[in-house]
Structure 1
Amino acid sequence: MAMPRWERKARIFLSLLGLFLSVYALHVELSRERDPDYRAMCDLGESVSCSKVFTSRWGRGFGLVQFFVAKDSLLNQPNSVLGLVFYTVQMGLGLSLSKRAAMLLVFSSWVSLAGSLYLAYILAFVLGDFCMVCVSTYIVNFAFLFINLRRRAAIEGMKEKAA
């Protein structure tokens, strides 16, 4: 079984888009930490500010890791670093057509979607902000779930035909 052309193109596009968004988010966070007056392109107003979100306590370890380790611990990474890992895994693991890879892709997508829903709630109801970069990553994560569910169904369908 070969990977469908649409899936390959979608996976590459989404992975690159997710990596770009994550690198940009990390750049904004690090720039803002170095220079509190730094203004990112995605800072359009008081309630439309990605740098406000990235530098909030929820911008690192989902705002949860700091309850278990020191705030400056190596384990309390910016969410964008977690995004870099996730999108790299989606690209790399997406090259495998095994059933195990398909299951891991689906599982990681559900985890990313849960994280996205949690962070969307924080964004809207706790921070009262709108972050274009954040919302774009939520869309990318949802699209990965869709692609990965289709992949798993196709692999399971191929196994049933073989049996």
Structure 2
Amino acid sequence: IWERKARIVLCAFGLVLSVYALHVEVSRERNPDYRAMCDLGESVSCSKVFTSRWGRGFGLVQVFVAKDSPLNQPNSVLGIIFYTLQMGLGLLLSKRAAMFLVVSSWVSVVGSIYLASILVFVLGDFCMVCVSTYIVNFALLFTNLKRRKAIEGMKEKAG
């Protein structure tokens, strides 16, 4: 039961962060003078990060695919999809769903580490929204690992 509540809270928080990130990026693209609540200074600026090359497709899509490709979406859109899937699949009591949740969480954690290194070593910025999503992703991984173990235990007892 704690896992279900934790998942709902984490996914809801992740969704709010992702929607806010998308709002900031779209607002900044429309108005270059837009100042987001998370823009606290020159080196503490989420809008600077979201509108950077790495704010879309992890900065990788435009290297391998055309910059104007429909695959080159803001990272926040990927976050919205990820947290929605995490929330929905978290309602299922199947081994497959549990395995997908764990695998997708590992992918999100690897992505978080990659983007955190871009923040520190390339952009030299601190993004509160970004760091918060990284924390959510690590917490979801922990939650999903516990869930998978519990589901496997339930299936063994039932079988």
- TM-score between both structures, scaled by the size of structure 2: 0.98
Structure 2, unaligned stretches of length 5 or more? none
| Counterpart pick for 1:132 among 128, 132, 150 | 128
The Cα offsets for residues 56-110 of structure 1, whole Å up to 9 and x where unpaired, read as 0000000000012221211100000000000000000000010000000000000
Pairwise CA distance, 1:156: 1.3
Number of the residue aligned with 2:118? 122
| Counterpart pick for 1:53 among 49, 52, 59 | 49
SS at match of 1:145: helix
2:68 maps to a residue whose letter is: D
- In the alignment, does 2:126 pair up with 1:108? no
SS at match of 1:44: strand
How many residue pairs align between the two structures? Answer: 159
The Cα offsets for residues 90-131 of structure 1, whole Å up to 9 and x where unpaired, read as 000000010000000000000000000000000011100000
2:34 maps to a residue whose letter is: Y
- In the alignment, does 2:1 pair up with 1:10? no
Pairwise CA distance, 1:35: 0.6
- In the alignment, does 2:84 pair up with 1:88? yes
Number of the residue aligned with 1:148? 144
| Counterpart pick for 1:44 among 7, 32, 40 | 40
SS at match of 2:93: coil
1:76 maps to a residue whose letter is: N
Q: Structure 1: which 4+ aligned runs deviate by more than 4 Å?
A: none
Structure 1, unaligned stretches of length 5 or more? none
C-alpha separation in 1, matches of 2:86 and 2:101: 7
1:113 maps to a residue whose letter is: V
- In the alignment, does 2:19 pair up with 1:23? yes
2:121 maps to a residue whose letter is: F
- TM-score between both structures, scaled by the size of structure 1: 0.95
Give runs of aligned pairs for residues 73-84 of structure 1, distance below 5 A: 73-84=69-80
